[in-house]
C-alpha cells in the first residue's frame, strides 16, 4: 500500500500526542571513505539524543548503487546515492523515498574533472575516446559525463569510464593509467590533497553541466518511514540541521571529520580540505533536484515517460516546501 508522504507528515503533525513516543530504532548504513554524511555529523553533534535513534556503521560502500542494493536487500536502513541512480532504482520497482539531499553542487562544493597540466585535453569535446576514472558506474559522475557530451552534441557513451576508489584517483592520474580523474562533490577531501601536490588542471566541473542542484540523496524505504514516522521525521530534521551547522561552522566541522576519520582508521589529514556539503540553506530539496534527472532518464529511454513524479519521491516533513 502506498501512503502519500504529504498525508503522512500532516497526520503526524495533527497527532493527539504533543510528545512523540520514541521507539528505539537502530539505523544501519554504509559509510563513504574520506567523508562524513550529514546524519553522521548530526549524531556526533548530539542531534539524535532523546529520539531513540542509533546509527550503526556496518562498512563502506564503493558507490551509491551498491548502497541502494544493500537498502533494497534489507541489510541497511538507509542508502545514499546520486539522484539518477536513486531514480533508476525506484523505476526498477524499489519503493524508496529521497529523504534529504546528501550533497549539492555549487561553486564551492562540486565534482571536478582533472587532468595533468601538460595534457592535451582542454575542453569537454576532448574527452571523446579518453579514459576517465570515476568512483562507480551508473551514478553521478557517470551521468555527468554523459550529459556533458550530450550538451556538446556528441555520443553520450564516447568516453571510457573505469572504476577507481577515491583514495586512488590522484595516483592513477599521475601514473598515466587514466587521462582524466573525476573527483566527486563528496570527495573534496581527496581533491584538496591532490591539488596540494600540484601539477593538475581542471577541465570542467559538474556545475558547468548541471547548474546548482542536489547531487544526491539519502534514501529511506517507504515502508520503514510508515513504520517509524516520528523517528523518520527526527532523522531528517536532525540531518538537515547538521547541514546548516557545517555551513555555519566549517572549522569545527573539519575537526569532527578529522576525529571520526582517525577513529575509522582513515587518513585524518584530508579533513582539512572538506569544502562543505554544497546544499541550500535549510537543507531542503526543490523539485528541480529530482525533475532534472527524470527528464534526462526519459530522454535516454531509461525510464518510461510519466512513470516517475518528483513530488511523490521527495520526503516532506510538516509543510516544508518542495516547489521550484
| Per-residue pLDDT tens over the stretch 19-54 | 455 568 999 999 988 889 999 999 999 999 999 999
Q: Distances in Å between the alpha carbon of 32 and those of 131, 166, 189, 250?
A: 24, 9, 12, 19
Positive or negative torsion for Cα 285, 246, 224, 221: positive
- Please give the radius of gyration of the chain, using alpha carbons only, rounded to the nearest integer: 19
Taking residue 92's Cβ as centre, other Cβ atoms within 10 Å add up to: 10
Q: Which residue blocks in 218-317 are alpha helix, DSSP H?
A: 222-227, 229-248, 250-263, 287-300, 310-313
Question: pLDDT exceeding 70 applies to what percent of the chain?
Answer: 90
pLDDT score of 22: 59
Report, as an integer, the average pLDDT of 148-166.
Answer: 94
User: Which uninterrupted H or E stretch holds 131?
Assistant: strand 131-134
Q: Which of 64, 38, 82 is nearest to 274 (CA)?
A: 38
Q: What is the dihedral angle through the alpha carbons of 116, 121, 124, 126, rounded to the nearest 10 degrees? A: -150
More confident: 49 or 317: 49
Three cell numbers, residue 251: 572549522
Taking residue 324's Cβ as centre, other Cβ atoms within 10 Å add up to: 9
117 has pLDDT over 90? yes
Quote the mean pLDDT of the chain: 87
pLDDT score of 157: 92
204 has pLDDT over 70? yes
108-112, 161-165, 272-276, 318-322, range with greatest mean pLDDT: 161-165
Positive or negative torsion for Cα 186, 188, 194, 195: positive
57-71, 184-198, 251-265, range with greatest mean pLDDT: 251-265
Report, as an integer, the average pLDDT of 311-319.
Answer: 75
Q: Which of 210, 160, 206 is nearest to 185 (CA)?
A: 206
Given a contact cutoff of 8 angstroms between Cβ atoms, the answer to whether 270 and 190 are in contact is yes
pLDDT score of 60: 87
Report, as an integer, the average pLDDT of 170-175.
Answer: 95
DSSP class of residue 144? H
151 has pLDDT over 70? yes
Three cell numbers, residue 181: 580523474
Report, as an integer, the average pLDDT of 82-96.
Answer: 92
pLDDT score of 226: 94
What pTM was estimated for this model as a whole?
0.76
Three cell numbers, residue 82: 546520486
**Per-residue confidence band for 124, with pLDDT thresholds at 50, 70 and 90:** very high
195 has pLDDT over 80? yes
pLDDT score of 17: 37
Given a contact cutoff of 8 angstroms between Cβ atoms, the answer to whether 140 and 184 are in contact is yes
**Per-residue confidence band for 139, with pLDDT thresholds at 50, 70 and 90:** confident
323 has pLDDT over 70? no
**Per-residue confidence band for 179, with pLDDT thresholds at 50, 70 and 90:** very high
Helix (H, G, I), strand (E, B) or coil at 183: strand
pLDDT score of 11: 39
Helix (H, G, I), strand (E, B) or coil at 224: helix
pLDDT score of 19: 41
Q: Distances in Å between the alpha carbon of 18 and those of 11, 12, 237?
A: 12, 10, 17
Residue matched to cell numbers 538507509: 78
Count of residues making up the chain: 324
Give one word for 119, left, alpha or beta, with left for phi > 0 and alpha for psi -120 to 50.
beta
257 has pLDDT over 60? yes
Amino acid at each position: 500500500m502506498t501512503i502519500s508522504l504529504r498525508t503522512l507528515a500532516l497526520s503526524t503533525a495533527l497527532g493527539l500526542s504533543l510528545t512523540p513516543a520514541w521507539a528505539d530504532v537502530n539505523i544501519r548504513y554504509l559509510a563513504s571513505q574520506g567523508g562524513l554524511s550529514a546524519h553522521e555529523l548530526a549524531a556526533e553533534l548530539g542531534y539524535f539524543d532523546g529520539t531513540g535513534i542509533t546509527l550503526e556503521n556496518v562498512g563502506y560502500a564503493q558507490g551509491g548503487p551498491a548502497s541502494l542494493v544493500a537498502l533494497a536487500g534489507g541489510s541497511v536502513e538507509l542508502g545514499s546515492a546520486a539522484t539518477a541512480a536513486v531514480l533508476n532504482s525506484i523505476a526498477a520497482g524499489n519503493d524508496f523515498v529521497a529523504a534529504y539531499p546528501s550533497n549539492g553542487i555549487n561553486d564551492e562544493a562540486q565534482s571536478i574533472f582533472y587532468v595533468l597540466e601538460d595534457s592535451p585535453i582542454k575542453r569537454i569535446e576532448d574527452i571523446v575516446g579518453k579514459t576517465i576514472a570515476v568512483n562507480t558506474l551508473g551514478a553521478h559522475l557517470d551521468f555527468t559525463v554523459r550529459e556533458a557530451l550530450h550538451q556538446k552534441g556528441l555520443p553520450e557513451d564516447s568516453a571510457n569510464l573505469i572504476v577507481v576508489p577515491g583514495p586512488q584517483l590522484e595516483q592513477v592520474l599521475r601514473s598515466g593509467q587514466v587521462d582524466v580523474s573525476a573527483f566527486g562533490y563528496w570527495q573534496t577531501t581527496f581533491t584538496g590533497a591532490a591539488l596540494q601536490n600540484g601539477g593538475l588542471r581542471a577541465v570542467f566541473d559538474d556545475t558547468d553541466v548541471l547548474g546548482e542542484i542536489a547531487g544526491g540523496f539519502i534514501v529511506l524505504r517507504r515502508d520503514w518511514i510508515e513504520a517509524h514516522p516520528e523517528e523518520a521525521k527526527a532523522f531528517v530534521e536532525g540531518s538537515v540541521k547538521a547541514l546548516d551547522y557545517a555551513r555555519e561552522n566549517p572549522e569545527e566541522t573539519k575537526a569532527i571529520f578529522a576525529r571520526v576519520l582517525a577513529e575509522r582508521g582513515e587518513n585524518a589529514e584530508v579533513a582539512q580540505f572538506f569544502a562543505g556539503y554544497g546544499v541550500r540553506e535549510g537543507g531542503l530539496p526543490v523539485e528541480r533536484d529530482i525533475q532534472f534527472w527524470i527528464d534526462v532518464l526519459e530522454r535516454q529511454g531509461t525510464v518510461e515517460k510519466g512513470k516517475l513524479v518528483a513530488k511523490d519521491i521527495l520526503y516532506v516533513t510538516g509543510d516544508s516546501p518542495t516547489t521550484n
